[in-house]
Chains A and B, each alone.
Chain A
Amino acid sequence: MIEAFLWALGMGLIGAIAFAAIGLVSGTDETAVVAPLTLLVVLLGVPASGVFSFFLAGVVAKHITHAIPTTLLGIPGDTMAVPMLADAQQLRDLGVPHIALRKAISGGVVSAFIAVPFAVLFATLLSPIADEIGDAAPWIFAGAALLIAFTSKGRWAAMAALFPFVLLVVGLNLFVTQQLGHGLSISFFLGIATGPLIADLFLAMSPSGRKTLERSKPSEFDLAPDVRTWKGRMPNPLKVLDRKQLAYTSGAAVVSSATFVFSPVAMTVMMGELAGSRIKNGYHRLTTMMSVRNGTTESTYIAETLIPLIALGLPLSPMAAGPAAPLFNAPPVYSVNAETGATHNLHDLLSTWEFLVFGLLAVAIAALVAYPFAMTNAHRAASWVMRNVSHEAIIGAFAGLILVICLYEGGLLAVLVTVTVGLIGGLMNRLLGVHSGVQFMGYYAAVLTVPALIAL
């Protein structure tokens, strides 16, 4: 137990520091960075407690620092931060960008601490019917995929596009299995996650596609000035929020911890609107929405990972199917058997109590690492990243990442699979509004639902 605790402590610290830094670089898609690094930690043989803590501390820390580009630069830290952009912009115009940041990250920290125990509680309530859910999983995945598709920007087109996409995955996986003797999973994920990048690269190579990408001047950003209103000791997140904000943020955290199959972005928008509709004064309304929304990005992330992990062992949520996928399925260490539904992953390796204790530990580590950093160095960090980390360097690193991970999983064939899935998925994303969450669920529908359909 002591050893497991030390692993959780050490790996949590590494995860928090690494992802706090990554969160500053806006636009780094959470799935494309969280999933490969978590996978690496699993494959290196880190014990379950360390893997879990690494992932959770990383995600929470990243969500704290991603609020920095969102509030100070007006660019979303990642897709989860998009719903907060408009509110953040208005607070910037009012001349109080630092308030937007402080309310957002304080809400995030409070929500993360609430979400862990509640997600564990809801998972425990769900466990008695876990076997039934497991048996029905192929159909639930199909239903969830259709539902998430319908709530995406693509609507009916996204639902219809699921069928050819699922068929593409089935076909590719069958061919790959014949050639290599085993199927691929990481390569598919990477293709889906980096799809928008791969599609853009193809467009850039095509003379006609390139016209849609051309820009006449560099992109312009306004960095909000550095304003610090507190002196001496670090502000306490409970004191940064007033009583009403604390109540709404906590309430939203509890409610959103229970809903684990919905899109986190949709939950974030909805919770913010709910709180916003109950507060009249323009200033108070904005600051409350900031804290509730960023809080909800934390709580949905945590719940969508923890509930399927504890109760089912199957990645039955957009988060679990995406960024958290290696916690469920990372062959040869962790596995989900598509035919039998048998699992060997964190679900089997950690007890409910361990999920609770290590979960809270990970959140505490992330808060201690990222919260003081974001509070004191936000302006300097945002400015440094904008002036020194070029987008070219990030794209180059991802190109290398795709090659290395695919060669690892299945050689050149895997590279081609990633490029194929990325091209098709990226174009579907760009042209039809079928976001990567829909495509992740589509992948699971291909792996779980299609065999069940054939067996009927």
Chain B
Amino acid sequence: MSRLIEVWGDTVDSRHMTGAIALGIGIATPTFLLGRRIFESTVDDQTLAQSYALLVGLGACLVAAVISARLFKPKRVVTEVEATLEGRRAALDAIAAEGGEWTDPAELAREVQEELRSLGLYDVLVEAHRDRQEEVTA
């Protein structure tokens, strides 16, 4: 049985997650309860005493998170990929399919043209425009 499960939008190891939850509750709860007892007897304003205890309790949650992050490494595979020519071509098609047209970039405002040139995309868009026109006439 795989220990990897998806919880709240990301993949975790179920045992590591149980450990992290135990740490979170195990550190924060006693800290809060102890803090409350101490502040209740040392701070005159009882509302404020409660708030201080809450602050200490939330601080403990952060400490627990740091410990868990050290103990349990992320279950993610992060790869860095350069955009490929193929990917770019697929993107040009996908954009066209969703309502973007590949009009002649020369018709765009001058500032947009400059932006495209600085990104090296101007010629790509000129080509995309030519391809579409050929499709239309063909």
Interface residues of chain A, those whose CB is within 8 Å of chain B, are: 27, 36-37, 40, 43-45, 86, 90, 92-96, 99, 196-197, 200-201, 204, 210, 213-225, 229, 242-244, 276-277, 280-286, 332-333, 383, 386-401, 403-405, 407-408
User: Which B residues, 2 to 59, have Cβ-Cβ distances below 8 Å to chain A?
Assistant: 2, 4-14, 16-17, 19-25, 27-29, 32-33, 47-48, 50-55, 57-58
Give the interface SS of chain A, mostly helix, strand, loop or mixed.
helix
User: What A residues does B9 contact at CB under 8 A?
Assistant: 27, 196
Is the C-beta of B131 less than 8 angstroms from some C-beta in chain A? no
**Chain A nearest CB, measured from B110 CB (Å):** 9
Given A92-B83, A286-B100, A404-B32, A43:B64 Cβ within 8 A: no
Interface residues of chain B, those whose CB is within 8 Å of chain A, are: 1-2, 4-14, 16-17, 19-25, 27-29, 32-33, 47-48, 50-55, 57-58, 60-62, 64-66, 68-69, 72-83, 87-88, 90-92, 94-96, 98-103, 105, 107-109, 111-112, 115-116, 118-119, 121, 125, 128
Give complex CA distance A223, B77 in Å: 10
| A242, B76: Cβ atoms closer than 8 Å | no
User: What A residues does B27 contact at CB under 8 A?
Assistant: 400
Given A392-B13, A392-B17, A396-B65, A282:B54 Cβ within 8 A: no
Give complex CA distance A73, B65 in Å: 23
User: What B residues does A390 contact at CB under 8 A?
Assistant: 12, 16, 20, 68-69, 72-75
**Chain B nearest CB, measured from A116 CB (Å):** 27
Name the residue in B74, B87, B102 with the highest tally of chain A Cβ atoms < 10 Å from its Cβ. B74
26 contacts between A and B (CB under 8 A): A92-B83, A94-B95, A95-B121, A213-B6, A215-B6, A218-B76, A219-B6, A219-B75, A220-B76, A229-B119, A242-B112, A242-B115, A243-B111, A276-B99, A282-B92, A282-B128, A393-B65, A395-B12, A395-B17, A396-B24, A397-B61, A400-B57, A404-B32, A407-B32, A408-B32, A408-B53
A408's contact among B54, B61, B92, B119, by CB below 8 Å, is which? Answer: B54
Give the interface SS of chain B, mostly helix, strand, loop or mixed.
helix
Give complex CA distance A99, B91 in Å: 15
- Count of inter-chain pairs, beta carbons less than 8 A: 265
| A95, B5: Cβ atoms closer than 8 Å | no
| A392, B19: Cβ atoms closer than 8 Å | yes
Given A221-B76, A229-B119, A400:B29 Cβ within 8 A: yes
| A213, B29: Cβ atoms closer than 8 Å | no
Who on chain B is nearest to A282 by CB? B100
Give complex CA distance A92, B54 in Å: 43
**Chain B nearest CB, measured from A193 CB (Å):** 12
**Chain A nearest CB, measured from B113 CB (Å):** 10
